[in-house]
Every structure is written in C-alpha cells, then in structure tokens.
Amino acid sequence: MARSTFFAAICVVFLSRSFISGVKATTFTIENRCDYVVWPGILSNAGVQALPETGFTLQSGETKTISAPTSWGGRFWGRTHCSQDSTGKFSCLTADCGSGMVECSGNGASPPATLAEFTLDGAGGLDFFDVSLVDGYNIPMLVAPQGGTGQNCTNTGCVVDLNGSCPSELKVMSTDGRDGVACKSACEAFGDPQYCCSGAYGTPDTCKPSAYSEVFKTACPRAYSYAYDDKTSTFTCGNADYTITFCPSPNTR
C-alpha cells in the first residue's frame, strides 16, 4: 500500500510540473472537404524532430488527427491529381514532393503549392502560423486554432478557388489541357529578382507587392502573397490545437 501511495505521489508531481510549465503536444486535425481525393504532405523544419507520418491519403470527407511534439515546426500542404505508374512510382500533378511514394520522407512540396506553416512554442508561449501563397497556389485551405488564446489567435487561409481566375501566364493546366489545376507565383513563372525578393530586391524596403502578388492578396487578404507580406499574414496563438481544412465551405471564413 505504501508503494502504491509513493507512485501515486510521483505521478501527481510529474503532472503538476507538466501543467505548470505549459508543455504539451499539439494536435493537428486535417480535414478534406473537397469533392476529390487529397494527399497531404508534411515537412518538418531543419533540426526539428520529424513527425512519424510525412504523407498520406485523405478521401473526400475524411479527417485525420496528428500529434506534434513540443517546439515542433514545419509545413503542411495538399497534393492533387496523384497516381501510381506501372512501376509503382507515385507522383502528383500539383505539389508533388518527389519521393516517388505517398510518404514525402523529408521532401518539400514542388511549387505551386498552398502551404500552412507552423512554429510551435512548447514552453507555453505563442505559436506562430500562416498560410502562404509565396510558392503559388494549388488548393483552398483554412487554418483554424482550437481553444487557443491571444489577440491575434484567429483563422487564416485562402478559401477562394484561385485556379479559375489565375492569370494565363501563371496557370498550370491539367494533363488534358481543359482545366487550371494550380497557379504559379510570379517568381516561379519568370525568375525575376523583383518578383523573387532576391538580389537587389532582397530586403523589405526594396521588395514590394507586384501586380501578380496583388491578385493573390485581393482574393485571400490573410495569406502571404509575397516574401515580405508579414504584417497582415502572420498569426499567433497560445496553447492551441489546430484544424487544417482543404476546400472549406464558404461559411468558415
């Protein structure tokens, strides 16, 4: 009986310390509300513990929950128009990670891709998160904090389908040439330092919004539209879990 009491006391102390420090895992709930299959990809930041899954299949209407360790950082995206060839190689028309498998295994998304980016604070401080169109756009996405606190703890994303309204010079077409399936960034399309915020344009003072980035910003005002679009596109939240929704319904804005 004394031993049981001792172990119970140890458990109480451990849980109390964990609660006081605010250290906890963060849960990501990934929903597919598109009327087609999406293959989410996940890439952890350099030097950060990788998640056990880096890619999976999400049928229309399906939801998957993933737990991230404290102080994790990385990005999520959705791959579309994916298939497997006769040799077993897996690839996607948009946001492919080049691994040849459903798992991305440390590879990032090939542009254009809508990205949800996170830097978590496992010590109980503020998480930083955003939805970025800097690498272009391929699928509507919403990030919604659950149960968090903070003045800037709010939904963000790009819930508009930009593929139809994408400028022709940025548009990626389906294999049959009938439909737009993604929208390139001006940097990817033209390689101009002015659009890429590189070289002489590599600072916030010299790199400004372009007519192309404004197309993204007008449609999705809370998403990153170019590299230095921080003021209106970075969000913070304390002690939150997050829901990432592909093709959210209009009323989730």
- Report yes or no on 37 lying in a domain: yes
Res 213: pLDDT: 96
Region of poorest pLDDT, from 11-15, 38-42, 118-122, 221-225: 11-15
pLDDT(13) > 60: no
Alpha-carbon span 184 to 97, nearest angstrom:
16
Cis peptide bond prior to 52, omega within 30° of 0: no
2 lies in a domain? Answer: no
pLDDT at residue 154 is higher than 80: yes
Q: Give domain status of residue 12, yes or no.
A: no
Structural domain includes residue 116: yes
Mean of the pLDDT values across residues 140-152?
A: 94
CATH code assigned at 193: 2.60.110.10
Q: Write down the pLDDT at residue 124.
A: 74
Give the residue among 247, 189, 236 at the shortest CA–CA distance from 213.
189
pTM for the predicted model, two decimal places: 0.88
In a domain, 234, yes or no: yes
- Peptide bond just before 112 cis, omega within 30 deg: yes
Lowest mean pLDDT of 1-10, 149-158, 214-223, name the range: 1-10
Residue 137: inside a domain: yes
With respect to residue 179, please indicate whether it lies within any of the assigned structural domains.
yes
Instruction: Return the pLDDT at 25.
Output: 86
CB 192 within 8 A of CB 186: yes
Give me the pLDDT at residue 70, please.
85
Residue 22 or residue 106, greater confidence? 106
- Give domain status of residue 83, yes or no: yes
> pLDDT tens across 183-214, in order?
999 999 999 999 999 999 999 999 999 999 99
What pLDDT does 23 receive? 57
pLDDT for 1: 46
Contact 132/235 with Cβ under 8 angstroms?
no
Mean pLDDT (the chain) is: 90
Domain interval for residue 164: 25-252
A 10 A CB-CB count for 83 gives: 10
Count up the domains in the chain and report the number.
1
For range 10-15, the mean pLDDT = 38
Q: For residue 92, what pLDDT band results from cuts at 50, 70 and 90?
A: very high
Give the integer Cα–Cα distance in Å for 17 and 91: 46
pLDDT band of 123, cuts 50, 70, 90: confident
* % of the chain exceeding 90 in pLDDT: 82
Segment 97-122 mean pLDDT: 96
